[in-house]
Chain A
């Protein structure tokens, strides 16, 4: 019999390399392509140098009043951008009418948000607890340097609490989830007790009517600690971001507790307001959207109809009209005594409006999950909600990252629409500043600045989504 041997693998013929070859292949491969390339270059030649001249070469950066710019332009005979305008108004652009002495509160909240969010967003980099801890210590020192000891203590608690919770749930046998009835009852009682204590403390130290939010946050934390097994440090970080952080941010920004001065929301504005609207919109619209997507696929007719009707209505009206409804019409339906803050109404309107879009995106993803996944999970004994949360939704969300990113981006940009109900976000403030008698005629600078800020954030979101998609998609297909 003959002996069979497989042939050796050979290296593939060398790929073309080098800049010139790349250009030849991609830009000048045919007559039409060459023409297109030249046209493109021509358009760039028309656009970029004049903009560069205006924005950089002839621009004026130093000084603190418009006279400096006017003098500079008169001296050179060419007009350029007067960035002094932006420089002088930067505080306004960023914080709106938030009192200057209180602005550190915004910075502090944003810093804590960044500390909480960065590890979970870049979880690949922060996979090791040690790296998170080092990052946390640096953040802590920064907070201490800028804001003092009490903010630093809070930051430390917020940043390192996930480690403690993780340690507790892993090590304390008593906390372990069990099916024993007494054990469960004792935990429930303990939870009620701590909840009541929180309520009492919140009412005494913060004030009447402030008990429920803190109690809710505490109870949610305890529920997870007592009844969910195997919560990772990252999951704890998310949970804290959705329980303690909103409370902290609310009291910090609104004030009127402890020794913090009260800053009413009609003083809020600028890029800070944009961030408030966008981040609370993103944080609430996605969870609501997921629930609505599940509701729309539910077998219970009432839930299904409610979800379908809501989604279809929300999708067929413009956001501007939703905002008008929220600010003008909605109060008409409520009794005189019940007043909701205007900003809050706008936030709720935006959250539900975008939730409808997210719901449709998520529903599309749910439809792409093979039936076999549900069957395998059911056959292993998974009840509905746990199956959805652990098996189905993680796959779904991976599939719909591009769709979600589009919605996040358009949400961020649509925050500018709050201008129609009199809230001044970054763009609103920019417009208001143009109307200032002292700075008449500097519209371009304001728009370019606002455009750049929006672009930076949108581009970051877009890049992040692409990265996430690449990273997660490898395991799905």
Chain B
């Protein structure tokens, strides 16, 4: 099935184009010559050892980090210092964090409605309807009036996904969405993400969940030391990796 979507998406339009991206933290060259094209509807998994720059890369896509060289174009808009453009890109790109980052002073429902109302200028009634729709979709409509700290980690991450979806994004970025969760909760979040992938959302996902990478992704991007080592389809990536660095990484993960 993943093969099918992979073939389809290859013919679709490019939604993210990163060319010759270089980024430094002071003197530290954290991203080196990154070139990556993502087609609409494509699901990418980004993996690699700790400190390889995975988070930095996807945070550049919605300008939570600024880059010094190269070009990032998202949905036809190039990221520059222009604040208007940045806000436009951020509206099109949703992001999920390792520690959820829900707004703790608002109820779950308010978390979901506040951005559509204040940013997209939707009427409250419409925003509420939308919020309940997505809460149903992540299977927790009964939590609407709770506060985030009254929900479990898995529930919070699903609320965060619903919060993103309420903004109707074209692309979603996931930065290790399950690594702060207990094993029992990981599954409920991965189920929601799989469901999302099946609905055709463009997804870039930093994760160590190799099962998810194998079944859901169209391509796997392997990074090390700020560089993209290898981009490959999951079957190839796991069974027939191109570089010795990939083999070493995979053997480490599997030996766990």
Whether A475 lies near B94 (C-beta < 8 A) is: no
Contacts of A373 in B (CB 8 A): 101, 103
Q: When A230-B124, A477-B149 are in contact, do A379 and B95 touch as well, CB less than 8 Å?
A: yes
Contact stretch, chosen from B20-28, B29-37, B83-91, B248-256:
B83-91
Q: Which of A177, A178, A378, A394 contacts B90 (CB 8 A)?
A: A378
Q: Chain A 383-408 against B: per-residue CB contact (8 Å), 1 yes, 0 no?
A: 10010001100110010000000000
Point out the residues of chain A lying under 8 angstroms from B118, CB to CB.
229-230, 382, 386, 390
* Chain A residues near B119 (CB-CB < 8 A): 380-382, 386
Interface size on B, residues (CB 8 A): 31
Q: Which residue of A lies closest to B115 (CB)?
A: A380
In the complex, A370→B101 CA distance in Å?
9
A395 to B114, CA, bound (A): 15
A381 touches B95 (CB 8 A): no
Contact status of A375 and B97, CB under 8 A, knowing A381-B87, A398-B105:
yes
- B117 interfacial contact with A, CB 8 Å: yes
Pairwise interchain contact B64-A390, C-beta atoms closer than 8 A: no
Interface residue SS majority, chain B: mixed
- Choose from A176, A179, A380, A475 the contact partner of B163 (Cβ within 8 Å): A380
A315 to chain B minimum Cβ distance, whole angstroms, is 29
Residues of chain B in range 75-101 having any CB-CB distance to chain A below 8 Å: 83, 87-88, 90-91, 93-95, 97, 99, 101
Q: Which listed residue (A372, A383, A475) contacts B105, Cβ 8 A?
A: A475
Q: How far is the CB of A405 from chain B (nearest CB, A)?
A: 19
Residues of chain B lying within 8 A (CB to CB) of residue A398: 105
Q: Is B62 in contact with A379, judged by CB distance below 8 angstroms?
A: yes
A472 to B95, CA, bound (A): 28
Q: A375-B64, A395-B105 are in contact. Are A383 and B83 (CB under 8 A)?
A: yes
Q: Which of A178, A375, A380, A475 contacts B164 (CB 8 A)?
A: A380
1/0 contact trace for A164-184 toward B, CB 8 Å?
000000100000111100000
Q: How far is B150's CA from A475's CA once the two chains are assembled, in angstroms? A: 8
Residues from chain A with a CB closer than 8 A to the CB of B88 are 381
Look across to chain A and name the residue whose beta carbon is closest to the beta carbon of B89: A381
How many residue pairs between the two chains, A and B, have CB atoms under 8 Å in the bound complex? 81
The distance from the CB of B143 to the nearest CB of chain A, in whole angstroms, is 14
B147 interface residue (CB < 8 Å to A): yes
- One digit per residue, 1 when the CB lies within 8 angstroms of any chain A CB and 0 when it does not, for chain B 164-198 equals 10010000000000000000000000000000000
Contact A391 B83 (CB under 8 A): no
Question: Is A186 at the interface (CB under 8 A from chain B)?
Answer: no
In the bound assembly, the distance between CA atoms of A376 and B175 in angstroms comes to: 12
User: CB distance A176 to B103 under 8 Å?
Assistant: no
**Any B CB within 8 A of the CB of A476:** yes
Most buried by B among A170, A383, A394, A477: A383
B31 CB → nearest A CB, Å: 18
Question: Closest residue of chain A to B95, judged by CB?
Answer: A379
Q: Is the CB of B101 within 8 A of A376?
A: yes
Whether the Cβ atoms of B90 and A381 lie closer than 8 Å is: yes
A260, chain B: closest CB distance, angstroms: 42
Task: Decide yes or no: A380 and B123 within 8 Å by CB, A375-B64, A394-B105 being known contacts.
Answer: no
Q: Separation in Å of the A363 CB from the closest CB of chain B? A: 19
Whether A378 lies near B121 (C-beta < 8 A) is: no
Q: Is B104 touching A395 in the complex (CB atoms < 8 A)?
A: yes
Residue of A nearest to B59 (CB): A375
Return chain B residues, CB-CB under 8 Å to A177: 121
- For A170, list chain B residues within 8 Å (CB): 124
A472 contacts across to B, CB distance below 8 A: 105
How many Å lie between the Cα of A188 and that of B160 in the bound state? Answer: 37
A180 to B105, CA, bound (A): 32
Chain A residues with Cβ below 8 Å from B99 are: 372
At the interface, yes or no: B44 with Cβ under 8 Å from chain A?
Answer: no
Residue of B nearest to A389 (CB): B118
**Is the beta-carbon distance between B87 and A390 smaller than 8 angstroms?**
no
Contact A475 B149 (CB under 8 A): yes
Bound-state Cα–Cα, A472 to B106, Å = 11
Bound: A176/B118 CA distance, A = 12
Residue numbers of B with Cβ under 8 A of A are 62, 64, 83, 87-88, 90-91, 93-95, 97, 99, 101-105, 114-115, 117-119, 121, 123-124, 147, 149, 160, 163-164, 167
What would 9 more interface pairs be, CB under 8 Å, given A380-B167, A475-B104, A475-B105?
Answer: A372-B101, A376-B103, A380-B91, A380-B163, A381-B167, A394-B105, A474-B147, A476-B149, A477-B149
30 contacts between A and B (CB under 8 A): A177-B121, A229-B117, A229-B118, A230-B124, A372-B97, A375-B64, A375-B95, A375-B101, A376-B102, A376-B103, A377-B103, A379-B90, A379-B93, A380-B94, A381-B119, A382-B118, A382-B119, A383-B83, A386-B118, A390-B114, A390-B118, A395-B103, A395-B104, A395-B105, A398-B105, A474-B147, A475-B104, A475-B105, A475-B149, A476-B105
